[in-house]
Structure 1
Amino acid sequence: MIASFALAATSLGLWASESSAAAAVPTPDHVVVVVFENHAYGQVIGTSSAPYINSLVAGGADLTSSYAETHPSQPNYYALFSGDTQDVTDDSCVTPGFSDEANLASELIAAGKTWASYNESLPGEGSTVCKSGKYAQKHNPWFGFGNVPTNTAHTMSAFPTDYTKLPTVSFVVPNLCSDMHDCSVRTGDTWLKNNLKGYADWAKTHNSLLLITFDEDNRLSGNRIPTVLYGQPVKAGVTSGTTYNHYDVLRTLEDMYGTTHAGQAANAKDITGIWNS
């Protein structure tokens, strides 16, 4: 009898622990992740060069100790998307579908959720081209995975104006100018306002989330990058000094929808302390 009671109590404790962990993050109806390029936290947050991003900080959450994984750009995109750099060490174009490792898209699809990417200057729907004008494959890690359908990779013009038609999770990747790589912080900030303000405003009242982050810093700030979250699930004006990285962001997105964990996300932690419930 005592042993049975102890076993039941232990099971209850495990259930409570798992339930608590699951409740640590919200489950938004939609998440849109936007990735910018090569700027440190102090080059964007609190500056006059990024008035729109800073307005999102004021109405959302600012992760003040958010870090990228490495240099240069491309391995960080793979880390954010799949919990692993997939042995990518530079910005060279990859062979499309070279990996079948788990990633955010494959996990969402397996869990019955929906996924898409919206890629500015992509020359055509599902195109796996290496480069085209201001478009660069190195910022679009989904093309490296054979278990992510290429028809989920869209041009930016396909981003819906009816936001209810968005997939569960989507990534938006600006081109080499709009992402602040070749052009200024203000250029990228203006692009974000012009292309995502409608969604951000809508997300504030429709249980949805906008997450803005950067692939890496300018190599001068210990790889500390801006990461901002905005939408109805987020407390307005909150800051978190907890140290987070790309793996933690991936883990948080996975836990929002109860998927498995890809790569190093299995050892990562959820973003907490910024949510309304």
Structure 2
Amino acid sequence: MVRPNLAGAVAALTAAVGGALALPADGAQAARPPSVGHVFVINLENKGYEETFGPSSPAPYLSRELRAQGQLLSQYYGTAHNSLPNYIAQVSGQGPSKQTQGDCQVYSDFVAGGTVAPQQAVGDGCVYPSSVRTVADQLQAKGRTWRGYMEDMGTPCRHPQLNAADDTQKARVGDQYAARHNPFVYFHSIIDSPSCMADDVDLKQLTTDLQTDSTTPNMSYITPNLCNDAHDSPCVDGRTGGLAAADEWLKVWVQRITASPAYKKDGMLVITFDEADTGTPDGAAACCGEGPGPNTALPGIYGMGGGRTGALVLSPFVAPGSSNDTAYNHYSLLRTVEDSFGLSPLGYAQQARGFGLDVFGTA
């Protein structure tokens, strides 16, 4: 969770006038990306583009060494504030509700009163009804595989009791897992299914799964703990935290991923941030025509989006050391995953532009 800055609120409210989200009409993917068969997504926390990828970045491995190995999306944006609605957007295409904007301090059921285009559940709450689908449901229905890998989660599919306070909002020594950074547990289609215990697992499982192509899921969604994702600084375990901690974590896990048979065969790794710090000038900015949704007038609380975060794409299909100023956001990432596996786009991903030949065409 970030601390919003009230500056720019009036301008953002003015920009909100004009109705529901209307992403570009050319959002339909004009050219399919190459045959990506294994997608890896790593989400870090609460950092804007300049802090992460600028010349004074405290994350030299990410901002320089990894940047030289992949493509930097310099105009990639979060879609909301605070953390949780960004994670939900990445896997379902749902816009924020009032409670998800508050990071769901109480793990309440989402009470829906119908839907509006594009596939938006109207209402408020946290855990969406089973009628609201995710990319994990889509993959499973098509015979593909997925797993969420959550550092410090321990017990698979760990989440608070329904309609009870979320006891993972603050890190504890030995337990820095945050349910709000695990989007899969906010959908009844997953938590009410055996797939949650089988596929929403602790990060330790990833090392084993990466050993062979056949044991690596088609989609691996990876969340570090509250220190290693740059959220906390200092951390409850005494470490400095912030981007320095995230950089050290990436040195371990990115190398494991890129050395795996699945990645080398047909992989794509996307490293991004859920949202920018709203204390920065563009911290609640948006791209791609994002506007008011049915449940919130301002997805970013004080603006239209989650701010400019940037994203890094590594893949055998991507030119090393390249950069791209095409505008993308979390709905674009969902659309990219769905395009890769021939899935119908969910929610706002229907109107988003997935990664195309601008990302993959120069390898």
Partners in 2 of 1:201 and 1:107 — Cα distance?
Answer: 28
Provide the C-alpha distance between the structure 2 equivalents of 1:207 and 1:234, rounded to a whole number of angstroms: 11
TM-score where L is the length of structure 2? 0.67
Is the alpha carbon distance of 1:108 and 1:225 closer, same or farther for their aligned partners in structure 2, counting shifts above 3 Å? same
**41-50 vs 31-40, which deviates more?**
41-50
Secondary structure, aligned partner of 2:265: coil
- Select which of 79, 83, 95 maps to 1:69: 79
Q: 1:156 to 1:99 in 2, by over 3 A?
A: same
SS of the residue corresponding to residue 180 of structure 1 reads coil
Instruction: Give me the whole-angstrom Cα distance separating, in 1, the residues matched to 2:210 and 2:354.
Output: 30
Separation in structure 1 between the aligned mates of residue 96 and residue 222 of structure 2, nearest angstrom = 21
- Residues of 1 paired with 2:281 and 2:149: CA distance? 29
Local SS of the residue matching 1:225: coil
Alignment pair present for 1:275 and 2:357: no
What SS does structure 2 have at the residue aligned with 1:190? helix
Cα displacement string for residues 30-50 of structure 1 (whole angstroms, at most 9, x for unaligned residues): 111000000001111144521
1:121-141 CA distance string (max 9 Å, x none): 103122224427311101111
Residue 60 of structure 2 corresponds to which residue in structure 1? 51
In structure 2, relative to structure 1, the CA distance for the partners of 1:204 and 1:121 (3 Å cut) is closer
Question: What CA distance in whole angstroms lies between the structure 1 residues aligned with 2:177 and 2:34?
Answer: 33
For 1:21 and 1:218, locate their aligned partners in 2 and report how far apart those are by CA, in whole Å.
Answer: 30
Unaligned runs of 5+ in 1: 1-19
1:264 to 348, 354, 363: 348
Within the candidate set 238, 247, 255, 2:322 is matched to 238
TM-score (norm 1): 0.86
Deviations 1:40-67 (Å, cap 9, x if unpaired)?
Answer: 0111114452122132211111000011
- Partner of 1:25, secondary structure, is coil
Which residue matches 2:253?
195
- Aligned counterpart, 2:24: none
In the alignment, the residues of structure 2 paired with residue 106 and residue 70 of structure 1 have an alpha-carbon distance, to the nearest angstrom, of: 23
Residues 83 and 98 from structure 1, CA distance in 2 versus in 1: closer, same or farther, beyond 3 angstroms?
A: closer
CA contact (8 A) 1:115 1:167 kept: yes
Q: How does 1:67-146 map to 2 (within 5 A)?
A: 67-85=77-95, 87=97, 88-93=100-105, 94-95=107-108, 97-100=127-130, 101-129=132-160, 130=166, 131=168, 133-146=175-188
* Secondary structure in structure 2 of the residue aligned to 1:109: helix
Aligned to 1:150: 196
Q: Secondary structure at the match of 1:194?
A: helix
Give the CA RMSD over aligned residues: 2.0
Moved more, 267-276 or 242-251: 267-276
Mapped contact 1:163–1:199 kept (Cα < 8 A): no
Distance across 1 between alignment mates of 2:108 and 2:216: 28
Per-residue displacement from partner, 1:198-247 (whole Å, max 9, x unpaired)?
21244663221111111000111421002101021212122111111111
Distance 1:117 1:62 in 2: 24
d(CA) in 1 for partners of 2:57, 2:74 = 18
Secondary structure in structure 1 of the residue aligned to 2:47: coil
Matches within 5 A, 1:181-192: 181-182=231-232, 183-192=241-250
Identity %: 31
Give secondary structure in 2 for the equivalent of 1:235.
coil
Structure 2: tracts of 5 or more residues without a match: 1-27, 110-126, 161-165, 233-240, 283-306
More helix by share: 1
